[in-house]
Amino acid sequence: MFSKSIFDLTHGAYIVTGGSGFLGRAHCHAIAAFGGTPIILDLNKSASDILLEEIKSEHDVRAQVYPIDITSKEELLKVLAEITKSLPIKGLVNNAARNPVVSRTGLETSSRLENFSLEDWDKDINVGLKGSFLCTQVFGSHMNEFQGGSIVNISSDLGIIAPKQSLYKIENKNESEQPVKPVTYSIVKTGLIGLTRYTASYWPTKIRCNCLCPGGIENNQSQSFLNKVCAEIPLGRLAKLDEYGGALIFLLSSASSYMNGAIISIDGGRTTW
Amino acid sequence: MKYDLSNYHTFVAGGLGEIGTAIVNALVAANSSVTILYSSEKYSSRALKLEQEFHDKIDIIKVDYLNSENLYTNLSSHAMKGKTNNLVSTVGTGKVLDKYPHSTNEVKRIWDINYFSNRNLLITLSTLINESKQLNPKGLSSHVMTSSVASKVNVNAPIDYCSAKAALEVLVKTIAIRISPEQRVNVITPGHILTSNGTWGLKTKEDPIGVSHLINSSIPMNRLGNPRDLASLFLFLLSKQATYITGSSFTIDGGITSKS
């Protein structure tokens, strides 16, 4: 019959790319809370080390940190060899993406499509898509060869709808100087939905692959931004940081054993229409 | 993750079918009180049996899904004040009783079951909850309806079934906005689910080789779904783990729609 053990992640390693970032940290805490061992892949070693200690003290779980570049297949293969010395890999969360704050000083004009640099294009696409592809290739192939597992790609509500650029508008600036959500963000997040569908039907008997499309998260945004964005969301608010953990654990665990290729919106209803 | 629904009261429409029963079992295990709704006489003996088995945890009532007044009366008399009241509906059928292009009466029957029954259930209960804060004291009421992948891709299902399910998905999206933020509603979109008396149980008995071939050629996970696969998703959407999810459609099909 029904058992709470269907959510159990113990005895498995769960890789989280961008693991010490804003949302990645929440993913790692959720995994550890259900007994899994988070494997934190993130170039920011100092933030990862702090997270490592937090996880140890709060969940009594010994996470692992690898400050590597996920766009390097060579480095990923080394990490694979290291993890599998002690733990079976049972899950991968493709979470890493560059997502600069739109209102950041200096980003206003460079974020616009007309001025968007090839350098930024390459960085964004490399981390968001090439990195996710390589992690799927390296860790997905391994899981398919051995015990199987679950891959969760972290897309966005902006993988489903276009960004509403007026949300980021600054008063008293010309249109050509207004900051925007960079074009690469939509492309990366939409690409992850395609990667999800491809992967879901590629290793279907041993690897499930699903996609989460989170909306925005409360993070000290200005009141004027909150007023505008919350008007777009039927629930009338942004998400709290811990409101995605349940869905992530559901998708990583056997509770979702027949879900494969699903694209799941968790956005307070923003993309309903 | 332990789903603790001990302050929840859940109406399960279609709760005497195999999928509904799996959901009821999961709800009872999560400590939700349950009222099972059914409309067909064919379930009367099953209702009696379940009532004996779970006599202190569930109650079972026969209702007319197509009569809003009847629904309002029954739902208001069984809703529980002080608890979070929710609706789960598995009401639907893909069995068509005549051949294409189908009689007007048969088309009406398919729409009545798959769309209007669910429409009446959702609107009646959400209105009732909206009228009484005591039926949703914490603003956590969550409703989950059941569509089908036939609303999204061609799986050779009857056309009016596909259309009615697609309409149900639009209904859910529309009502999600209307009842937000105090109540949430989402829809589950299952693929081919095996139940002994359902479409796939009958097909498996009639043509096991054909079904086996279809599974291998069209379902990436190489198996039919089962009621327990669905039950865990229903529970997740009812729970506090899903408080930011509304107006969403959850496909649970072993990968059918990824491949299509």
Q: Does B177 touch chain A (CB under 8 A)?
A: yes
With an 8 Å Cβ cutoff, are A268 and B244 in contact?
yes
What's residue A2's pLDDT? Answer: 63
pLDDT of residue A106: 54
Asked if residues B224 and B200 have their Cβ atoms less than 8 Å apart, the reply is: yes
A267 contacts B247 by C-beta, under 8 angstroms: no
Strand, helix or coil at B172? helix
What pLDDT is attached to residue A109? Answer: 67
CA-based nearest residue in chain A for residue B183 = A235
Is some CB atom of chain A closer than 8 A to the CB atom of B205?
A: no
Q: Kindly state the tokens that stand for A208.
A: 């499930």
B81 is catalytic: no
Highest CATH level, class, for A4-103+118-160+183-215+244-266? alpha beta
> Which one, of A203, A241, A202, A195, lies nearest residue A220 by Cα?
A241
Choice among A4-18, A61-75, A248-262 with the minimum mean pLDDT: A4-18
Q: Which helix (H) or strand (E) holds B59?
A: strand B58-62
Q: Does B208 have pLDDT greater than 90?
A: yes
Name the percent of chain B lying above pLDDT 70.
99
CA dihedral (B127, A271, B84, B227) positive or negative: positive
Determine the distance in angstroms separating the CA of B110 from the nearest CA of chain A, rounded to an integer: 26
Q: Do A259 and B259 touch (CB under 8 A)?
A: no
Closest chain B CA to residue A205:
B221
- Name the band, by pLDDT with cuts 50, 70 and 90, for residue B260: low
Q: How confident is the model at residue B114 (pLDDT cuts 50, 70, 90)?
A: very high
Q: Which of A66, A168, A185, A244 is catalytic?
A: A185
Interatomic CA distance for residues B33 and B15, integer angstroms: 13
- Lowest average pLDDT, out of A164-178, B166-180, B220-234, goes to A164-178
Give the position of tokens 């899904």: B65
> Where do the domains of chain B lie, and which CATH numbers do they carry?
8-259 (3.40.50.720)
Range of lowest pLDDT (A101-110, A238-247, B91-100): A101-110
Dump the DSSP string for A181-245: --HHHHHHHHHHHHHHHHHHTTSTTTEEEEEEEE--B-SS--HHHHHHHHTT-TTSSPBPGGGSH
Q: Which of residues 1-40 of B touch A (CB under 8 A)?
A: 1-3, 25-26, 29-30
Is the predicted pLDDT of residue A176 greater than 90, yes or no?
Answer: no
What is the Cα–Cα distance from B211 to A20, expressed in whole angstroms?
47
pLDDT of A100 above 80: no
Among A196, A197, A239, the residue with its CB nearest the CB of B244 is A239
Quick one: pLDDT band at residue A29, thresholds 50, 70, 90?
A: very high
State yes or no: pLDDT of B198 exceeds 60: yes
B185 → chain A, closest CA residue: A269
Residues pairing with A91 in the sheet: A14, A150
pLDDT at A71 over 80: yes
Q: Say what the pLDDT of residue B18 is.
A: 92
pLDDT of residue A24: 97
A263 at B interface, C-beta within 8 A: yes
Contacts of A113 (CB under 8 A, 6+ apart): A180, A183
Of A6, A201, A269, nearest to B247 by CB-CB distance is A269
- Residue A102: predicted pLDDT: 66
Instruction: Render pLDDT for A118-139 as a digit per residue (tens, 0 to 9).
Output: 999 999 999 999 999 999 999 9
How much of chain B is in helix, strand and coil states, percent to nearest 5? 50, 15, 35
pLDDT at B128 over 70: yes
